[in-house]
Structures are given as C-alpha cells and as structure tokens.
Chains A and B, each alone.
Chain A
Amino acid sequence: MSYIFNNPDIILKLLWEHIVLAIGALLIATVIAIPLGYYIHGKQKLTTVVLGILGTLYTIPSLVLMILLLPIFGLNATTVVVALVIYCQIILVRNVIAGLDAIEPGIMEAAQGMGMTRAQQFIQIQLPLILPVLIAGMRLSVVVATAIATVGAMFGAGGLGTLLFNGISQGRFDKIISGSLTVSLLAIVFNLSLQFLEKRLGKPVS
C-alpha cells in the first residue's frame, strides 16, 4: 500500500494509460458491434455463424491472441486494443441482438406503417429501446477489458500491468499488490458507474 502513496505520479500515469486502453477499446468495440448486430439481427443463419466465430475468438487465451496479432500490428498498444475489441464483440453483439429481439413486433410495425425510414426507425425507436441492454453489455465488456488490458504491459501498451510484471521480475510484492489493487478498484468503479447509467435509463417500458 505504501508504494501507492509514495509514488502517486507513477500510479496515476499507469492508471491513465489503463483507462485509455479499456475505454478506447470499449468505444471502438461498441461502434463496431451496433451496426454488426443490427445487420445480422433477424438473419438466423448469419447470426449463428457470426456469434459462433466471436464466441470461439473469446475462448482464445489473451496472451495467445495478442501474440497472434503481433505480426500484424506490431509491439505496441494497437495490438492490445485490437485484442480487447475482439473480446468485447461477443458480449456487445449478443446484447444488441437480444435488445432488438425484445422489441415488440407491433412497435416496429407501427413505426414502419407511419412512414418512418429505416434510419429514422433505428435512431428514434430501436436505439433508445436497446440502450439499457446495450449498456449492460458495455459494463461487462469494460470490466473484461480492464482485466485483460493488464497483459498489455508485456506488449508495450503500458497500463497497470507494468507494475505487476515489474514486481514479479524484481521480486517486489509491494508493486504487485499496488498494481492488482488499483486494477480491481478501476474495474469496480467502471462497473458501478455504468450500472448507475443503466438504472437511470430504465424508463417505464410497457
């Protein structure tokens, strides 16, 4: 613990790097998952195939996935972010589809029958209605990303993992404990804040 108080500048710098990694990956993943989920929603076969692929990718150990990506993206934060984005996809795409499926067919029929274009239907009706489910997925994703980003330190992405790996090689338990504690705290804060957002958005729904 004393390491945290004695080296606040190091901790803050690594914490910031870690936040950028996790949030950056989350945002990129969400921007990909929404159109992907929207497109494959309602197409039974395609959904099975895409979710199958994403699910398989999710089972690859993080270290292995990053090593596989290394030749393509190099030894830097990009490799780590790409890996995180891939891990988040299965969670986010599945939730986008679940959200769209949960919308009562009558609602979409009314929207269409009233003369809304597809874009208007999505922006005005579907997106707001799937928001709570989407945010639930984002919450889980960011926690997963926070945990896995720790490995990123080995690939030159920085972040709180640096403390862990340094601690292990130097035999410094104080560094290991400070690193793990801060990562855990970060995950908890992410989780709580998105949970709060999720509840705020839980407007009355028939």
Chain B
Amino acid sequence: MSTIRFKKVVKEFTGMVRPALNRIDLSVDSGQFIVLLGPSGCGKTTMVKLVNRLHEPTSGDILIDDQSIYNGMDVIHLRRKIGYVIQQTGLFPHMTVEENISIVPNLMKWPEEKTKRRVDELLDMVALPPYEFRDRYPAQMSGGQQQRVGVARALAGDPDLILMDEPFGAIDAITRTDLQDSLLKLQRRLRKTILFVTHDVDEALRLADKIAILREGLLVQYGTPLQILTQPNDDFVSKLVGADDIVRQLGQIRVETVMEPLIDGAPVKQTIYRDESLRVALSDLVKSKQDLLTVVDSGKQPLGTITYDIIRNSVG
C-alpha cells in the first residue's frame, strides 16, 4: 500500500513570474488511480517530478505512507521504490527489452533467476509474448509496444506507487485506446497507487478513480470523473471537460461507476461489460428494447444493473 499527501506544496522556478505550483494540498488513498489533468504549463508534470524528487519544492511537504520524503529518506532508495513512466518512453536504446526491464531489479541486486522470471511475467502482463520480445531492441518495436515495455519496466521492482507522465501522449489514437484498456485491466489486478499526468480529457475520464484539475499552478478541482462532469467547480473546469455536452459525458462515464449494486434474483437478460460507457449502455437499452442491463466482469459474473433512470440521473 502507498498513500501520498501533498501539504501546501509550493514550487517556484527562477525567472518565472508565478509559481509552477501554488500551495497544493492533495491526498491520495492507497490503490487509487489519480489523473492530474490540465493544459500545458499548469504544473501537472512538476507535481509528479516532486514525488520522485527530480524537482525539490520551494516549500511544503510531501508524505508517502505518512512519512515525509525529505526527512532522512535517501533519494536513490526512494526512486527505486517508485515506478516511473515518461512520454518518450525513455527506454535505453542500447539495451534489449529484457535488459531495460531488469534495470531496477539489478539495482536492487535481485538474484538473476528471480529477475529473469520477473521479466517474463511482466512481458506477459503487458501482452508482449516474452519469447518474441525479450531480445528485441527498442528501435525494433512500434511506439505502442515500446510504451508497453516502459510500463513493464516501471512495474519491475514491484513498487506500490507508479508515476506516469503523459505516457501515451505520443501514440496514435487507436493504439492509445488499446493501451488504456490494458492499463485499466492491469490496475484492476494490481491495485497500485498511480499518479497519471495527461492533458487529454477523454483519457482522464476513462482511467481515473479521481481527477485533479490544475490551472496555472492551482488545484481547481479534485473529484471522481462523475463529480467533475456533473458538478464542475467553475467555468474553466466546465469548459475543459465539456460538461454541457450530455452525449459526450455519456461516452466518458464507465457503467461500473454508476451501476446499482446487484439485488438477488434480478433476471440476467442483456449484459454489458463493466468498462463500457453509459453511451453504449443507452444504445444497448434502446436496441434490445429492455429496461435493464446487467453489468458483468470479464468472467461474465454479474456485478450490478443499469437502467434508464440511472443513466438520466448520472448526467446534467
């Protein structure tokens, strides 16, 4: 487990008029997927780099598991316990996939056998067959595959906390959706604490348990995707997430986030997968002429139900 707490964090860069981050207070629970969202220059990347101390704050404190990261904690040690994924993948071009993923295990001096097993396990996890990809160099893979390796590398040391700085920013739309799906599935299994930076609203709404919206160094809103869409704090947030476009909203909300818990004996008729959007749910309801859909997981186990009323109450 890993909780993070930002306490009145201020970061100023020399030569800048306003602080990059201005008195940020933010609490992240263990196992949560937090997306930091905002236009470029809002301070979201700075925030992530404060956590692994690539930047040092001007004032304020950051706590991981209620311990300040500035009090007696060795920087190198701290970084090895935090997974880190960046946009340009940062893969080492002169190393194979296996060597890239083995970096942190080697730094932590794992026995060779354990590292080898871990590499294969991780490659399976990110859907790259080990026998095919283990010995490849980054240049011999597509951008999407490279970023899968980037994610695997961040997970290698089994960190509780993972920082992702616009990891899918440079990847085409179709592949990006694919990677987002994989990441959601992975996170459902691993329950890491994730800080994920993006300027892509759709990506944020899709992935986040909670979204922190930043603007010019200020935290303007922190809440679930549904809260952000239905109760935007101000005009900026409303415009950013397109809160007045109801069809768009439906497309961004996952059914599992609004479904009603299962009541025993509810008939399983038409089913819908938990990650589908309310827009798909609405379309399914209309097409099937039912008034209720059963939400299921990947093993077809029922989790809850969706009705017209729930959809109507979720938006606007």
A129 interface residue (CB < 8 Å to B)? yes
14 A-B contact pairs sorted by A residue (CB < 8 Å): A106-B86, A110-B90, A112-B79, A113-B84, A113-B86, A113-B90, A114-B79, A115-B76, A115-B78, A115-B81, A128-B94, A129-B94, A204-B140, A205-B93
B280 interface residue (CB < 8 Å to A)? no
* Interface membership of chain B positions 145-183, coded 1 if the CB is closer than 8 angstroms to chain A and 0 otherwise: 000000001000000000100000000000000000000
Report whether B88 and A114 are in contact in the complex, using a CB–CB cutoff of 8 Å. Answer: no
Give the complex CA separation of A106 and B54 in angstroms. 13
User: Among the interface residues B52, B78, B86, B92, which one has the most CB atoms of the partner chain A within 10 A?
Assistant: B92
Binding site for B on A (CB under 8 A): 104, 106-107, 109-117, 120, 124-125, 128-129, 203-206
The 6 closest A-B pairs by CB, nearest first: A110-B90, A115-B79, A115-B80, A106-B88, A113-B84, A204-B139
Report whether A114 and B94 are in contact in the complex, using a CB–CB cutoff of 8 Å. Answer: no
**Chain B min CB distance to A67 (Å):** 45
Report whether A113 and B79 are in contact in the complex, using a CB–CB cutoff of 8 Å. Answer: yes
Contact status of A107 and B92, CB under 8 A, knowing A113-B86, A114-B107, A206-B138: yes
Given pairs A107-B90, A113-B52, 5 additional interface contacts (CB within 8 A): A106-B89, A107-B91, A109-B86, A110-B92, A129-B93
Binding site for A on B (CB under 8 A): 52, 54, 76-82, 84, 86-94, 103-104, 107, 137-140, 153, 163
Report whether A110 and B84 are in contact in the complex, using a CB–CB cutoff of 8 Å. Answer: yes
Contact status of A116 and B93, CB under 8 A, knowing A104-B88, A206-B138, A206-B139: no
Give the complex CA separation of A113 and B80 in angstroms. 8
**Chain A min CB distance to B198 (Å):** 17
Residue of B nearest to A205 (CB): B93
Report whether A115 and B92 are in contact in the complex, using a CB–CB cutoff of 8 Å. Answer: no
Q: Chain A's interface: helix, strand, loop or mixed, by majority? A: helix
Q: Given the complex, which residues of B lie within 8 Å of A203, measured CB to CB?
A: 93-94, 137
Residue of B nearest to A103 (CB): B93
Give the complex CA separation of A128 and B76 in angstroms. 22
Q: Given the complex, which residues of A lie within 8 Å of B139, measured CB to CB?
A: 204-206
Give the complex CA separation of A163 and B163 in angstroms. 67
Give the complex CA separation of A136 and B142 in angstroms. 30
Give the complex CA separation of A96 and B297 in angstroms. 55
Residue of B nearest to A117 (CB): B76
User: Among the interface residues A117, A128, A204, A206, which one has the most CB atoms of the partner chain B within 10 A?
Assistant: A206
Give the complex CA separation of A128 and B93 in angstroms. 10
Q: Given the complex, which residues of B lie within 8 Å of A120, measured CB to CB?
A: 107
Q: Given the complex, which residues of B lie within 8 Å of A106, measured CB to CB?
A: 86-90
Give the complex CA separation of A109 and B52 in angstroms. 11
Residue of B nearest to A125 (CB): B92
Residue of A nearest to B48 (CB): A113
Report whether B87 and A115 are in contact in the complex, using a CB–CB cutoff of 8 Å. Answer: no
Contact status of A107 and B107, CB under 8 A, knowing A113-B86, A117-B76, A205-B139: no
Q: Given the complex, which residues of B lie within 8 Å of A204, measured CB to CB?
A: 93, 137-140
Report whether B107 and A115 are in contact in the complex, using a CB–CB cutoff of 8 Å. Answer: yes
Report whether B93 and A109 are in contact in the complex, using a CB–CB cutoff of 8 Å. Answer: no
B54 touches which one: A107, A109, A116, A128 (CB < 8 A)? A109
A114 touches which one: B84, B89, B140 (CB < 8 A)? B84
Residue of A nearest to B136 (CB): A204
**Chain A min CB distance to B132 (Å):** 16
Q: Given the complex, which residues of B lie within 8 Å of A112, measured CB to CB?
A: 54, 79
Give the complex CA separation of A206 and B141 in angstroms. 10
Residue of B nearest to A127 (CB): B94
